[in-house]
């Protein structure tokens, strides 16, 4: 009887443990979905690395730096990647504001079509505007510097000097901005459905940018 009992225990362990062990082994062997979905990651360790745009930006270490000297509303820089065949994706970057006073704005830009696209980021107005908001909007680069757009959603926020993670997602007609993994603004819009190009836009903003990447959704 003891022998039969021992055999039953062994069989139960084989049936229970083996599938779990196999599943864990398979999980370790295959790459994670998040890692496999990264389609571009900026490497600024040796300079701008193909990024094209206005001249108030430089690099230091692995960071992109904007000195805020450009006060023109069309100040932006475009990443060296064409996403025409990938319409749905997320742009993610860590951004720190060095100077939080005065008028300034900065945005991640998705589905760039000429001078238009979807902008997600931050805008701080002047004494007349007094708007301080995280926002997402459809716009042209000539006007989005001023926190405007025909389709805009925003949430009031007073900026600090800490590092924050910004994530702009475009999936079909859905455009969403996440701030430190928290959804803060979203719109539904069908003007720009082609993947286009991506970039960073800013005006009078002293910012540091690191860990910029694009993830397919």
Instruction: CATH number of the domain at 72, please.
Output: 2.60.120.560
Q: Read off the pLDDT of each residue in 65-71 and give the average, rounded to a whole number.
A: 86
Please say if the pLDDT value at position 99 is more than 60.
yes
pLDDT tens figures, 155-199: 999 999 999 999 999 999 999 999 999 999 999 999 999 999 999
Residue 2 sits in which domain range?
Answer: 1-30
Shared-domain flag, residues 6 and 56: no
Length in residues, the chain:
217
Residue 147 pLDDT level (bands cut at 50, 70, 90)? low
Alpha helices in the chain (DSSP H): 2-29, 33-36, 141-144
pTM of the model: 0.81
Shared-domain flag, residues 121 and 197: yes
Total count of domains within the chain:
2
Shared-domain flag, residues 81 and 178: yes
What is the C-alpha end-to-end distance of the chain, expressed in Å? 58
Please say if the pLDDT value at position 139 is more than 60.
yes
Shared-domain flag, residues 130 and 49: yes
Report the alpha-carbon distance of residue 174 to residue 88 in Å, rounded.
Answer: 10
């Amino acid at each position: 009887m003891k022998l039969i009992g021992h055999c039953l225990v062994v069989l139960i362990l084989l049936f229970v443990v083996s599938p779990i062990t196999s599943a864990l082994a398979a999980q370790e062997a295959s790459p994670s979905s998040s890692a496999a979905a990264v389609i571009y990651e900026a490497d600024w360790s040796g300079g701008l690395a193909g990024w094209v745009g206005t001249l108030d930006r430089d690099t230091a270490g692995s960071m992109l730096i904007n000195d805020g000297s450009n006060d023109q509303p069309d100040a932006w820089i475009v990443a060296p990647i064409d996403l025409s065949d990938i319409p749905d994706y997320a742009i993610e970057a860590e951004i720190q504001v060095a100077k939080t006073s005065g008028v300034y704005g900065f945005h991640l830009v998705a589905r760039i079509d000429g001078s238009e696209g979807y902008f997600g980021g931050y805008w701080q107005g002047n004494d007349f505007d007094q708007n301080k908001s995280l926002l997402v909007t459809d716009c042209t680069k000539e006007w989005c510097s001023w926190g405007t757009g025909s389709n805009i959603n925003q949430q009031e926020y007073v900026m600090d000097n800490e590092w924050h993670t910004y994530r702009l997602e475009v999936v079909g007609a859905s455009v969403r901005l996440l701030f430190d993994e928290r959804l803060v603004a979203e719109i539904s819009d069908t003007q720009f459905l082609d993947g286009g190009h991506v970039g960073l836009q800013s005006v009078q903003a002293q910012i540091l940018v690191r860990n910029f990447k694009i993830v397919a959704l």
